[in-house]
Structure 1
Amino acid sequence: MSTNSLKSSRQQMMFFFYCSLLLSIFFLIQIRYTLSLDLAEWTASQYTLLFLLLSFVVICFLKYQCYSRDLKRDSQCIDLAEKKLTQKKNALYQQVSSMNPSDFGELVADLFRIKGFKRIFLTPRMNEQFYDIEMYLEDQKVLVSCLLNANTHEIPQSYLERLHLMMRNQQIDQGVFVTLSPFDADCYTFAKDKPIFLIDGEQLIETLIESSDW
């Protein structure tokens, strides 16, 4: 069960609760004005009303028990699945961060091949620490810069400026920057009005899990 399904189940339980509350109030009003304190004066319809009320209370109690048990089980399943996913992401992050820049460039290229890009060419830059990838989606040429920077340092805006300059010089309409590190805030401001897409480490790991057998 997904988080959205769990949320939907909780909403259904709340809806059932409020409906039960309204019906209980209705029964109580009926009891208040129709039942006498003297049992000898009760009619068959009054016994029936009391029986319906008690039955309703029992049914509501059992229903709440079922909802509570199911929600608890589903919550435990979701927590376990999220824990396993977190462990998988951490293990994959460690695996990718231990790659050399060349293997990281090939990994990014393979990821875009899965996405349907063709004619992918890798070009090492900056003493083979920085890889540029030229690729095509139909007739559109895309320039990708990928940097294996597996540490806590954020990617500065200057790296995006370099990518944007190369796009202008080569007349490329779209660019992508892929890294295992986070971007600083200036990068998002710089790329906001430009055809440059940013993929940080968290997005990269999630995309790898979704697009491959990792």
Structure 2
Amino acid sequence: MTNSIPQQYLHFLYLIIGVIVAAALVALLIKLVQLLVQEVRRDRFFKEYGVAVPKSIRMRKAKHPHATGSFALGYPAWAAAKRDGTRDRRSNNTAVIHRLSVIFVGRWKMLGSDPFAAYAFVQQLRAAGIPVDYCAEERAKRDAVLGQLRARRTATSIDAIIQSFSGNPTDFEGFCADLLRQFGWQAQVTPPSRDGGFDLRLHGPTGTSYIAECKCYSRNHHIGRPMLQKLQGANMTEHAQGLLFITTSRFTSDALEYARQVGMQLIDGAQLVRLCQEAAQSQGDVQPPESAFALTRADLMQHIPADMRGQAW
């Protein structure tokens, strides 16, 4: 009797091991079948459209065929997040929600967790002549670019510029960035909630780095020395080679003297109008190309929480 008990346990152990091995083999077989199905679908898509689907994108058959492609980008987010999207460290929840990007082309539905890879794939589709509608971010950028173009063309006076941004003064930052781009500058608007005390990161035509502050004030408002000192202080951590302050108003004599001492460049309302007129004359009635509405890496990065950007992105 005593010898039969270990034998029973041994049989039971073999049974458990057999079940585990069988389950692992079934799981492996399912995974292999899924991979095979994905490869077959990628091959079919390539034969239909001549564009290779990245491995990071999963393919399914759409419920209904789409004559024109469409897509929506999804971005990662903290399960426990603050208002600015960064992780709420008061919570122990460190989970990340991976919202999927969705792309529809013809009879195919494609899903991916990497918005950068998804958007790059969409651009490849468009380059191959496959029509894909704008996503929400592209439509917003198109509206902003065209709005800035209209603002430049109607910027015949300081009051006209101020009126253009009376409803949303923060749009003035994008307006200034776009204006500088017309003169060969590279410009990036900083996120409103984490701007570090300045509005634009810039590189001049010769490659010199700048940070800039943009203020849309009434013509009777005067920018004083303290606001320039604030920009100078912000550069203690940014270490840009140059500083630029742009406003629709004017600078006090004290501010002008301070700018001369520290080498800060100033653009007041009158100068701003002249720059707008120069840009409008050089561009004429030409509309911006489609490439002007394409999303850059910086555009996409704005939708990713700031404390995730140094990780896989």
Per the normalisation by structure 1, the TM-score is 0.51
- 1:132 equivalent to 2:192? Answer no
Q: In 2, Cα distance between the equivalents of 1:197 and 1:126?
A: 25
How far the C-alpha of 1:127 sits from its partner, in A, is: 10
| Correspondence 1:1-214 to 2 at 5 A | 88-89=156-157, 92-93=160-161, 95-96=163-164, 98=166, 100-118=168-186, 120-124=187-191, 132-137=199-204, 138-212=206-280
Q: In 1, Cα distance between the equivalents of 2:280 and 2:167?
A: 17
Q: Contact 2:158/2:270 (CA < 8 Å) preserved in 1?
A: no
Q: In 1, Cα distance between the equivalents of 2:280 and 2:266?
A: 20
**C-alpha RMSD of matched pairs (Å):** 2.8
SS at match of 2:184: coil
Larger radius of gyration: 1
Please list the CA deviations of residues 97-138 of structure 1 after superposition, one character each: whole Å capped at 9, or x if unmatched.
5352222111100111011012x221255899x861001134
Aligned residues: 126
Seq. identity, %? 25
CA 1:99–1:178: 2 relative to 1, 3 Å: farther
Q: Contact 1:176/1:198 (CA < 8 Å) preserved in 2?
A: yes
How far the C-alpha of 1:197 sits from its partner, in A, is: 0.6
Per the normalisation by structure 2, the TM-score is 0.36
What one-letter code is carried by the residue in structure 2 that aligns with 1:136? H
Q: In 2, Cα distance between the equivalents of 1:139 and 1:209?
A: 25
Unaligned runs of 5+ in 1: 1-86
CA 1:127–1:136: 2 relative to 1, 3 Å: closer
CA 1:97–1:184: 2 relative to 1, 3 Å: farther
